[in-house]
Amino acid sequence: MGSLRKSLAFAAFTGAVLTSGAYAQDARDRLKLSIPQGLESEVGHFPRGAPGISSGSPIAFGANWHDAFVGVGFQSPVRYGNASDGGAAIGFGLGNARDAVGLELVVNPLSTFRSGIGNRVGFSAKLHKLFVGNWGIAAGVQDIIMNKNPDSGDPSIFGVISKVIDLNGASLPALTLSGGVGNNGFRLEKDIRENNSTVGVFGSAALRVHEQVSLIADWGGQDLTAAVSFVPFAAFPLVITPGIADLTGTAGTYGRTESVRPRFVLSAGLAFRW
């Protein structure tokens, strides 16, 4: 369990900090970047990597003091279009989720391919708490747009619970389950189009089949994503997560009723200690 507990803090986001409106629906792909706690490396060195546990929806684990991360995301095509698009994330942590509470802060330059870095910039924040037994809770806000544009909308507020189940004696190392509720961008597309006052349900399941590989199923509140997250180098925290989004065809952009075709999504992130 020692090695498992070392990887319980995860920094997230790229598409998690998205504008609402049409662009938000196009870019629901989000980075999941592992940042192990109890690192054996000294401050200022790269920690040991661990695969991600979500490919879209929020999780309850987050970055603590001295944890930082960067990442990029790519999708092809965007929803209801033939163009490709991408985004980036830069974040760090404050506090300590094990002893008290942690705060994860993330800034996202959005739509770097189509509109240029700085044209759309988002901000997210998440308070998270880790408990004995490898589970945690978190509450946060995403989609706070720092420079307003026509696609901007209201931020999304969410709460989430995550649990890591150690599969002792089994051939598979661990199963991580997360579930939560949120407003705005987490709602079903039908409710968004009809302006219904509802909340959405999201969740993910990640089966860690190897120290460096996990299989992920993720419902972000509107559609399903299946992904594989892997760490190419065990001693270096580069996390790569390719996947297929919009598998059920239930999501889309505002005012559109056509089915959504599956799309290729890819994210890569790097954690470090300072």
Secondary structure tally for the chain: helices H, strands E? 3, 14
- pLDDT given for residue 115 in this prediction: 57
Share of the chain above pLDDT 90, in %: 47
Determine the average pLDDT of the residues in 126-151: 85
CA–CA separation, 266 vs 227, rounded Å? 9
Tens-digit pLDDT profile for residues 16-52: 322 233 333 333 333 333 433 433 333 344 556 789 9
Q: Quick check: pTM over 0.85?
A: no
Alpha helices in the chain (DSSP H): 2-6, 22-26, 189-193
Integer Rg of the chain from CA: 17
- As assigned by CATH, the class of the 2-273 domain is mainly beta
- pLDDT given for residue 21 in this prediction: 32
Instruction: Give residue limits of the domains in the chain.
Output: 2-273
At 185 the three-state DSSP class reads helix
Query: Tell me, what amino acid is at 11?
Result: A
DSSP 201-232: EEEEEEEEEETTEEEEEEE-SS-EEEEEEE-S
